[in-house]
């Protein structure tokens, strides 16, 4: 017996009433368009002039800030910048957090808590939160919303809030020429080799060797990049 054809339900199309066409309403519409253009130009100017570079007052707070590098506006938390070092030709995208230590004014254990190499690109909304040592090599690019940290919280004591069960710091290293995909997380003690691809939304918890492709949570090597 042949099956019945599927029932098609027609929904009414949303209708926006036509705006009255009068000199007054045309003037209002024109004013809104002009105001929108002004706001856009103001924002573009703010993005340009509020970016942080090596010669800007905020840039001079950093441990080092290489030529032709920039932190795009609007930026997120920038804390204890004197322990953060940025190489040359590096772009830090908007909304990125660069943090050394847990509180403003903290004296950190090492002079280079966060080091970002030359010609790097850190994607929008990412976070690099160091307490001991995070080293990102040269020519490392990341997608948006990538997070790297060298400290985590424990959870073994059920009578103590997890926020107070701080584990010892373990250095994090990312090798030259690697790519970290959108939304991936690099946890304490992780070492990512040279020319490595970390897939989107992966969680790196250990060692990823050179010339590898790793994906998943935790990230596992799924391919090796062949060299000629």
Domain range list for the chain: 51-224
Residues of the chain above pLDDT 70, percent: 91
Q: Which CATH architecture describes the domain 51-224?
A: 3 Solenoid (2.160)
Q: What is the pLDDT of residues 137-182, one digit of tens each?
A: 999 999 999 999 999 988 889 999 998 888 889 999 999 999 999 9
Give me the sign of the Cα torsion angle 18, 20, 25, 26: positive
Between residues 85 and 45, the one the model is more confident about: 85
The Cα 118–Cα 136 span in angstroms is: 9
Q: Which of 99, 134, 124 is nearest to 183 (CA)?
A: 124
More confident residue, 20 or 8: 20
* Other C-beta atoms lying within 10 Å of the C-beta of residue 50: 14
pLDDT at 47: 86
The average pLDDT across 52-58 equals 95
CA atoms within 13 A on the CB side of 63: 20
pLDDT of residue 9: 59
Beta-sheet pairing, 147-149 with 172-174: unpaired
């Amino acid at each position: 017996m042949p099956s019945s054809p599927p029932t098609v339900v027609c929904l009414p199309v949303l209708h926006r009433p036509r705006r009255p066409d009068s000199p007054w309403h045309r003037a209002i519409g024109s004013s809104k368009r002009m105001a929108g253009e002004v706001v856009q130009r103001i924002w573009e100017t703010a993005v340009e002039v509020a970016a942080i570079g090596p010669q800007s007052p905020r840039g001079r707070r950093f441990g080092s800030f290489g030529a032709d590098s920039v932190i795009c506006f609007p930026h997120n938390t920038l804390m204890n910048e004197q322990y953060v070092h940025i190489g040359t030709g590096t772009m830090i995208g908007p909304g990125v957090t660069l943090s050394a230590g847990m509180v403003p004014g903290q004296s950190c254990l090492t002079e280079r808590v966060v080091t970002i190499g030359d010609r790097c690109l850190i994607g929008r909304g990412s976070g690099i939160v160091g307490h001991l040592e995070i080293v990102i090599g040269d020519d490392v690019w990341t997608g948006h919303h990538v997070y790297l940290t060298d400290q985590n919280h424990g959870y073994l004591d059920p009578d103590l809030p997890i926020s107070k069960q701080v584990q010892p710091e373990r250095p994090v290293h990312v090798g030259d020429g690697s790519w970290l995909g959108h939304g991936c997380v690099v946890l304490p003690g992780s070492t990512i080799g040279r020319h490595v691809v970390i897939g989107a939304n992966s969680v790196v918890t250990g060692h990823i060797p050179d010339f590898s492709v790793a994906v998943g949570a935790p990230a596992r090597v799924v391919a090796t990049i062949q060299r000629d």
